[in-house]
């Protein structure tokens, strides 16, 4: 098998893994935010918002991988990479601001959370799915990232 064919197959595998990641993050975000709002749990809602951030960054990575898979020039791939990095940075800054705000609200004792069975179940599912997804993403990444 030629190196080019192997790279193409690796890229196709990476796209499939990222599609699954985006699907999982969508479910995790919707369930966590919904359960967090019902239980008035800032922590569970923050978990859901973190999933939204991961959904955004996963979608950006998927877009970037698809740009490369469609055979874009190296300049096109680099431009997509820069845009992906910018969106990721902005999303993480927004998440940090949310976490700071919810911590302040918690410290002031403004809200009182209730228990959430759905929240516990989605958290348990995430404990299983997220390490598996991380392994899948790591295994399809370029070899120089793994050394």
Q: 43-80 pLDDT, tens per residue?
A: 788 889 889 988 988 898 888 888 888 887 888 878 88
Residue 140 within a domain? yes
Residue 19 within a domain? yes
Per the structure, the count of domains in the chain is 1
In terms of residue numbers, what domain contains 35? 7-146
The predicted structure's pLDDT at residue 72: 77
Residue 114 within a domain? yes
The rounded mean pLDDT for the chain is 82
Residue 1 within a domain? no
Instruction: Read off the pLDDT of each residue in 4-13 and give the average, rounded to a whole number.
Output: 74
The predicted structure's pLDDT at residue 76: 81
> Is pLDDT above 90 for 147?
no
Phi, psi of 2 (to 5 degrees): -75, 160
Instruction: Read off the pLDDT of each residue in 102-113 and give the average, rounded to a whole number.
Output: 73
Instruction: Read off the pLDDT of each residue in 100-120 and give the average, rounded to a whole number.
Output: 77
Residue 139 within a domain? yes
Percentage of the residues of the chain whose pLDDT score is greater than 70: 89
Instruction: Read off the pLDDT of each residue in 86-111 and give the average, rounded to a whole number.
Output: 80
Cβ atoms within 10 Å, residue 12: 13
């Amino acid at each position: 098998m030629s190196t080019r064919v192997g790279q193409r197959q690796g890229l196709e595998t990476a796209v499939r893994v990222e599609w699954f990641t985006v699907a999982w993050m969508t479910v995790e975000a919707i369930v966590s935010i919904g359960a967090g709002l019902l239980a008035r749990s800032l922590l569970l809602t923050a978990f859901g918002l973190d999933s939204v951030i991961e959904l955004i960054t996963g979608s950006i990575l998927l877009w970037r991988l698809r740009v490369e898979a469609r055979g874009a020039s190296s300049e096109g791939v680099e431009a997509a990479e820069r845009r992906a990095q910018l969106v990721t940075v902005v999303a993480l800054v927004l998440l940090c601001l949310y976490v700071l705000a919810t911590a302040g609200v918690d410290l002031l004792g403004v809200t009182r959370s209730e228990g959430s069975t759905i929240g516990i179940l989605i958290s348990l599912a995430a404990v299983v799915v997220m390490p598996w997804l991380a392994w899948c993403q790591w295994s399809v990444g370029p070899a120089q990232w793994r050394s």
